[in-house]
A and B are shown apart, each in its own frame.
Chain A
Amino acid sequence: MKYKFTKKQKRLLIRIILSATVFAVGVGALFLSPSLPWIGRGILIASYIVAGYDVLRKAALGVVRGRIFDENFLMAIASLGAMALTEFSEAAAVMIFYQTGELFQSVAVGKSRKSVAALTEIRPDTANLVGENGVTVVDPEDVALGSVIAVYPGERIPLDGVIIEGKTTLDAVALTGEAIPVEAGEGDQVISGCVNVTGAIKVRTTKEFTDSTVTRILELVEDSASRKSRPEAFITRFAKYYTPAVCGTALALALIPPLASLISRGDPAWREWIGRALTFLVVSCPCALVLSVPMAFFGGIGCASKNGILVKGANYLELLAKAEGAVFDKTGTLTEGKFRVTNVETKGGIGREELIKYAAFAESVSTHPVGVCIRAECPETPASGDVSELTEIPGRGVEALVLGRRVFVGKSESAAPQDSPGVTVSVVIDGVEEGTITASDTVKESAKDALAALGALGVKKTYMLTGDREVSARIVGDAVGVGSVRAGLLPADKVGELETIMKETSPLVYAGDGINDAPVLARADVGVAMGALGSDAAIEAADVVIMDDDVRRLPLAVRIARKTVRIAKENVVFSLAVKAACLILGALGIAGMWVAIFADVGVMILAVLNSARALTVKNKRIN
């Protein structure tokens, strides 16, 4: 990705180049005419002013307004002090390097901002409102609920709604990280933020702009800054005491040793000690520290977003990185959450196809999940007159006259003990039980990989919570390789169970689909909502939102989190260590101004470069 300089950055770059050129001339003049030092010095002062006039202005303004001790103040004092000691080339160099560091930092931040902006660019600016007098382009905020909008190929869908006209494919890659476009036609729900790829469609909006998916997602990402990570909070607190402490020490360094030797009638060596104090000030500039940690976390959050994982705050990245255990909801998280016919047994009277056909016809208007999946299994649909006298027997099943025969589909009288997962219904035709159909929820293929990946990452304690019966829960649990299964829980029991687990395992991650487990999502250390596109309650309650329903994104999130936290720590330790070493060397008079400049600008550049690593995660494959 090519980076474009902003106007401000361009201006700064020109100033740095100009100032550096003047600096070279000045140093040359000093060297060539040592008898007339003020010519070279004058040129160096010019170079200094070109590079640092705004720093001086800000420092002066800060002092006037009673806000001293910021980095401008430090740089101004250090460079002016160097000039007072007639070290003009050092003074100008400090300013030039400081500004180079600032420019570099600004570009680096701009770059990482840009790569994260790919996600925030999903904000649609306009909507094509279809009115009586044709189409008008309006602000999406002004589109009322229930209006009809037109979305043309290549445009982003501005508001959530239902397609009422047209057929197309939709690209949700910015939302879910899922690159395969989805077909959508009349009657299908569409989510704002998707790109309409192929055909023009008309959409009746079902949400206002402020409640639309795209707005909620953007808010989520943009608000993530308000929750600061622990290292970030530490650094902010630290910087508050750090700068005054450093200024105090520098002052002491400039005054105490010379005064002490004056008292003992020695040589005060003012020059030497003031020089050391100034070196100390240059080293101590806290910008690398203050910037590097939030930048690492910003990169981490951006990297996660690119992979379809929205993290609501830096603190959740930290918790994810440290996660000891993970709790999964069963239905919809580890399983598809959809019933499918998994077994058909016939008693020999009629064949499999026939059995399904009678059952499907009898269930032709059923909304029960088992009825729906039996219908899905049958290629035929009943013609009018095929099915009559349809009656639903609540709690038992349905009965109907199908093709002249009396068919009952439901719980069998001779209810066999349920030792298999799912639900088994018997099909009775004209009073004879012809066979049984079993429907069950299928395990997600990705779930097993996800649990294995978590185990490999050291998140060893895994649990599954479900309201299901012990038997079917255990079958699913064994299939995906979950450590412990807690079955037979009512939705209200899940919070209690989670709290029990949290007592032994903390921090604990909970992953659920957010449909009936919002309280559990909110209670867990890190609540992860899966497949949460369009589910407002889940987005609200969760700390991390995985946009599609691929569980393998959870271990990926843990990997991103660990990398981010590691980078943030590296930055803190590295910059503190280098600064501490240079401070000591500076105070002892071993390190001069040039080392100090490296300690300031060099460390910052390295920390910023290191932070940029958080933007990418190696091995993007989610398994």
Chain B
Amino acid sequence: MKKTYPVEVDCANCAAKMEEAVKGTPGVASATLNFMTLKLKVEFVEGADESAVMKEALKRCKKVESDCEIIF
């Protein structure tokens, strides 16, 4: 399953770091963050609990870039 979330982040480099963090979250099959459109596209692993996965993903993002937000 694929979902798109709006993201708030300030720099291209930070966006790249966030993308890596989301990719590493369990339950995420793949993720791309487009800094220019500020959209995060996440493909979940079959049967994953979206909101739980996204909570964890945001936590991981905050770790690499304290000044960011994913709206879900």
Contacts and interface: CB of A to CB of B under 8 A. Distances in A.
Interface of A: 8, 54, 57-58, 61, 65, 67, 70-71, 102, 105-106, 109, 112-113, 116-117, 120, 221-226, 236, 239, 287, 290-291, 294-295, 298
A113 B8 CA distance: 13
A449 to B, nearest CB: 32
B16 interface: yes
A58 B11 CA distance: 13
A223 B36 CA distance: 11
B59 to A, nearest CB: 13
B58 interface: no
Chain B residues touching A, majority SS: mixed
B36 A225 contact: yes
Interface string B1-27: 000100000111100100000000000
Nearest to A117: B37
Contacts of B33: 225
Contacts of A291: 11-13
Given A70-B13, A291-B12, A113 B66 contact: no
B38 A105 contact: no
Given A58-B67, A290-B13, A298 B36 contact: yes
A61 B66 contact: yes
A117 B11 CA distance: 18
Give the size category of B's interface with A: 10 to 19
A106 to B, nearest CB: 6
Contacts of A8: 10
Contacts of B35: 109, 225, 294
17 contacts: A65-B63, A102-B10, A105-B11, A109-B35, A112-B36, A113-B37, A221-B37, A223-B32, A226-B34, A236-B16, A290-B12, A291-B11, A291-B13, A294-B12, A294-B35, A295-B12, A295-B36
Contacts of A120: 37
Given A58-B67, A61-B66, A67-B64, A239 B13 contact: yes
A287 B11 contact: yes
B64 A225 contact: no
B43 to A, nearest CB: 11
Most chain A CB atoms below 10 A, which of B10, B33, B63: B10
Closest 5 CB pairs of A and B: A225-B34, A298-B36, A226-B32, A290-B13, A291-B12
A239 B14 CA distance: 13
Contact of A222 (B4, B16, B64): B4
Contacts of A70: 13
